Each structure stands twice: as structure tokens, then as C-alpha cells.
Chains A and B, each alone.
Chain A
């Protein structure tokens, strides 16, 4: 069983002791079902004690690349694998970032993310976020306006103090809470957590998604008048929007 963990400098995919080809196909399933969450991010792979050939590692790298994910580090307790990782110019610990790649990733991310923004990373070192459907309890707090074209991704909960402008995206493994006006796109429960909620003082997103369900929130006349805190929840596979005080 592959699990995914959020750490300070990104996501770590933790493998088990199964044969490599079956792990890769499981990984592909995970990437498939959460493609939106992973897209454009970078990931570290923890292969435990597996003895992997350079081809094995490159196969993982090209698999990630298909989903627009950058594999930047391979963590291992196997000395032979560790040497091969180094030969492939990848990092073998979370501390060291490969020099050439950090520049490239900084420039490719500058268009979507502000440097120093905790996107794709956790506030705590040990935030568990299983790619299956477990509920995560850890979250991040972002105290800034999220602007058009900016993407905020986190495997746990996301709380934003400030407005989320049209054209921005918030994608969380857990819940999303916006202390302000939520426009743009919000996706809670991105790993399939159907109990995830999206709350905002002023809920006007262009599109909301909870787990696999989606709904566009058009400003209906009665919703336009009532500018009050609202919450989007998943009820019988349909996203419903309820006033805050009713819950």
C-alpha cells in the first residue's frame, strides 16, 4: 500500500516492499484519481530498502512526468540504490535540493505560486495525508489574498484569511475555509474525502468540487441578496450549499 505524506518541502510518496512493477501500477492509479492535485507539483519518493536499478528509477520519473509532476528526490535505506540516485542527479535526502533543478522549478512555479507560499507543503513536518480517503487533521493558514493564476495546494486543510479572487485555485486534501470572499475554483477532499466541506464568508466560486463531485455556483437571485457565510457540503453525491447558522 502506497501512502502519501506532506512535509515541509513538498509531498513524499512512501512505497512498501512489494515488487517494483506492482508499486508503479498502484502509483499510476493514485496519480490518475488525483491528477488535478498532483499536476505541476514536485514529489519525493521513499523507496525504503528496495534495490532499484537506474532503469527502475527512470521509469518512476517518466511516470510522474506524464502527470506533470517533477520527481526531485528518491529516499532510500539501500546503499546501492542511493548511489544510483546520485548518479541520476537526483537528491537522496529531503534536505538537499538539486541545484540545477531548483532553478528550473522556481521559474516554472513563479507563474502559479508565490515563492515562500506553502503550496504543496505542510505546516508540520509530519502531516499524514493518505492518498486513499482518510481525513487529514493538519492544515495550513494562508494570510494573503490569492490572486488570479495563483494555485494553493495542500494535502490537509486550507484556511485563507483574505479573498480568493476569480481565476485563483484552492485545492485541499481536507476542508477549505475562506475568511473572505471565495471566487475562483475550490476543490476540497481532493483525494476523495466525501466529508470535506468548503466554507466562506461570501461563497461565490466559479466552480466548487468536493471529492469527485463538481458544481458551478451561479449567483441565483436569492443567494445574491443574502450575503452571509455559507458552507458547501456533499449530500447524496450532490454538492449542496447551506447557510452557516443552520449547522
Chain B
């Protein structure tokens, strides 16, 4: 089976790696792809919460790697999409529990059955990041439109190039078109200019994300709203389709009620 390992990383924390991993995974699964999303943040697991699958964890990736269960037992099937699985990680361990070689071996095993393997990397550029980078065929670097996360993204792109991984692509998260217009926020062009790396998409700031994270239902599953649309477009681009880049405008309640933009 043609299989792609996509590592989602950022350098800086809190930019939305887990949200993006979960939503891209869901969007790909809704495109009838066989998808597994791996939580790479050992000891600080969040992916299961964002996906709303926390109480279904019996075994995790560390159990599989240390031989306490089979691969199938560690995977959680998400019934909301045809072929979507989540590989949770251990909360009681730390980044030293899984080596880069073990991560590569686990991904090679998953490659037999899945078309897309999305790895949600931890923040930082330490061991956990390198473990998640090791099996990557493609790397998505999530950044927010502000200087410090762009600086960290630049650092990470340098590291990805040095490891000869990639191609790295940028995903701009939490873009606010109105604030860009007022020049209060970096624009897509500003970011691409500094990073000189291909852009895979820009996800607008969307209130729906907060709600969906708390509820454990990624926005891409119900398919509405500007962020959901952006994630579906990013998923399409990952599959190789040409989708023109555009920024989804958030629709205010006023516009929703009166139907005029």
C-alpha cells in the first residue's frame, strides 16, 4: 500500500499541533483514506482528549513497543469516520520511553495497513521531536502569525533540512484576516517571505475550535465553519489535489442571520 508518514511539528508550544493533527486526520479519513493519527507527545498526551477518545484507551504505543500488546490492541478505532484510528501514548512515561528506531519500526508496521500516518509531535527540538521526525516522509510545520512562533518554525525548518527530511511545508494556524488588514498581525506573505517554504494552507481563527476541543469532536468531522473548510482543503492538498490557497473569512452572527457578506 502507498503510505505516507506526515509529522506535524512546530518548535514552539501551543500553536495548535494537536488540533491540526486531529483535524487533518479526520479530514483525510472522510476522504475515504485509511488513516492513523499517532500521539508523539509521550507523558503529555492530548490527542485522545481532542479526539474525544480518552476513556477508550486500554493499551498505548509504549505498551506495544515494550511488547505488552499487539499493534491492533493499541489502536483505537474512531467510529465517526470510515477508517480512522488513533494511537494514544503513555501518560505515565516520558520521551525516553520510545527511541527514533522504535518509532520508525512502528510506522513501518502501520504502513502495511494505512495510507496516511499522522504523527503529532511534541513541542521543542529535543529528543521527542527527533523521534517523531525520524519516520517522516513529509513534515508540516505549524506556526501562528506572530514573530516568536515564526522564529521557532524557521529553526525547525533548518533542523528538518539538516536531517534531509521533508519536504517541509508550513501550516499557518489562527490567522485573523481583519487583524492582518489592520497590520496588527503578520500576513501569509510576511511568513512565507521569512520562511521561504511552501505553504500547505492557512487556518483562520475560529471560535468553533475551542468548543470542539472541549467536546472532543474535531471541527473537520462536521465539516462546517471556516476552520473546518481549511482543514478539508489541507487534506485534499496532502492527497495531491490542486486546491487554490485562500483565507477563509469568519462569518459573524450578523451575517449568518441576514445572509449578506
- Given that A145-B196, A165-B194 are known contacts, is A111 also in contact with B125, CB under 8 Å in the complex? yes
A150 touches B196 (CB 8 A): no
The CA of A205 and the CA of B163, in the complex, are separated in Å by 27
Please tell me which stretch of B154-162, B212-220, B228-236 contacts chain A, meaning at least 4 of its Cβ atoms lie within 8 angstroms of it: B154-162
Determine the residue in chain B with the shortest Cβ distance to A147: B158
Q: Which residues of B contact A167 (CB under 8 A)?
A: 151, 154-155
A113 vs B163: C-alpha distance when bound (angstroms): 11
- Structural contact, B162 and A110, CB atoms closer than 8 A: yes
Q: Counting CB contacts under 8 A, is A149 at the interface?
A: yes
CB distance from A233 to the nearest CB of B (A): 28
B125 partner residues in chain A, CB cutoff 8 A: 111
Q: A111-B159, A148-B154 are in contact. List 16 more A-B contacts (CB 8 A).
A: A111-B125, A114-B161, A114-B162, A145-B196, A147-B155, A147-B158, A147-B161, A148-B155, A148-B158, A149-B154, A150-B158, A163-B196, A165-B154, A165-B194, A166-B151, A166-B194
CB neighbors of A among B131-161 (8 A): 151-152, 154-155, 157-159, 161
Asked if A110 contacts B151 (CB within 8 A), the reply is no
Mask: chain B, 195-221; 1 = CB below 8 Å from A; 0 = not = 010000000000000000000000000
Say how far B169's CB is from chain A's closest CB, in angstroms: 15
Contact A148 B151 (CB under 8 A): yes
State the 6 A-B residue pairs at the shortest beta-carbon distance, nearest first.
A147-B158, A148-B154, A149-B155, A148-B155, A114-B162, A147-B154
Which residue numbers of B lie inside 8 Å of A, CB to CB? 125, 151-152, 154-155, 157-159, 161-163, 194, 196
Instruction: Compute the total of residue contacts between A and B using a CB distance below 8 Å.
Output: 35
State A148–B160 Cα separation when bound (angstroms).
Answer: 12
**CB of A221 within 8 A of chain B?**
no
Rounded to whole angstroms, the CA-CA distance of A176 and B170 in the bound complex is 30
For chain A, residues 119 to 142, give those with C-beta under 8 angstroms from any C-beta of chain B. none
Complex contacts, B151 vs chain A, CB 8 Å: 148, 166-167
Shortest Cβ distance from A144 into B: residue: B161
Is A115 positioned at the interface, with any CB of B under 8 Å from its CB? yes
- Label chain B's interface by main secondary structure: helix
Closest-CB distance, A207 to chain B (whole angstroms)? 15
B155 surroundings in chain A (CB, below 8 A):
147-149, 167
Expressed in whole angstroms, the minimum distance between the Cβ of A79 and any Cβ of chain B is 40
B163: chain A residues at CB < 8 Å are: 110
Choose among B125, B158, B163 the residue with the greatest number of A CB atoms under 10 Å from its CB.
B158
Chain B residues within 8 Å of A145, by CB: 196
Q: Which residues of A contact B158 (CB under 8 A)?
A: 114, 147-150
Q: How far is the CB of A153 from chain B (nearest CB, A)?
A: 16
Closest to B162 in A: A114
Closest to B130 in A: A110
> Which residues of chain A are near B154, meaning CB under 8 Å?
147-149, 165-167
A107 to chain B: closest residue by CB: B130
For B196, list chain A residues within 8 Å (CB).
145, 163
- Cβ–Cβ < 8 Å partners of B157 in chain A: 147
Residues of B within 8 A of A165 (CB): 154, 194
Per-position binary interface string of chain A over residues 100-116, scored 1 when its CB falls under 8 Å from any chain B CB and 0 otherwise: 00000000001101110
Closest B residue, CB atoms, query A115:
B162
Give residues 192-229 of A contacting B (CB, 8 Å): none
CB contacts (< 8 Å) of A111 on chain B: these are 125, 159
For the complex, give the distance between the alpha carbons of A145 and B162 in Å: 13
Residue of A nearest to B154 (CB): A148
Bound together, the chains give a CA A147 to CA B150 distance in angstroms of: 11
Contact A110/B159 with A147-B154, A167-B151, A167-B154 known, Cβ cut-off 8 Å: yes
Nearest chain A CB to B73 CB, angstrom units: 35
Give CA–CA (A163, B196) in the complex, Å. 10
A85 to B111, CA, bound (A): 49
Residues of B within 8 A of A149 (CB): 154-155, 158-159
**Contact pattern, A 165-198, Cβ under 8 Å of B = 1, otherwise 0:** 1110000000000000000000000000000000
Query: What is the CA–CA distance of A26 and B194 in the complex, to the nearest angstrom?
Result: 43
**Complex Cα gap A164–B92 (Å):** 42
**Distance between Cα atoms of A10 and B47 in the complex (Å):** 45
> Closest Cβ of chain B: how far from A104's Cβ, in Å?
15
Q: List B contacts of A150 (CB < 8 A).
A: 158
What are 19 of the A-B contact pairs (CB < 8 Å)?
Answer: A110-B163, A111-B125, A113-B162, A114-B158, A114-B162, A145-B196, A147-B154, A147-B157, A147-B161, A148-B152, A148-B155, A149-B158, A149-B159, A150-B158, A163-B196, A165-B154, A166-B151, A167-B151, A167-B155
Chain B residues with CB under 8 Å of A147's CB are 154-155, 157-158, 161
Q: Which of A110, A113, A149, A166 has the most CB of B within 10 A?
A: A149
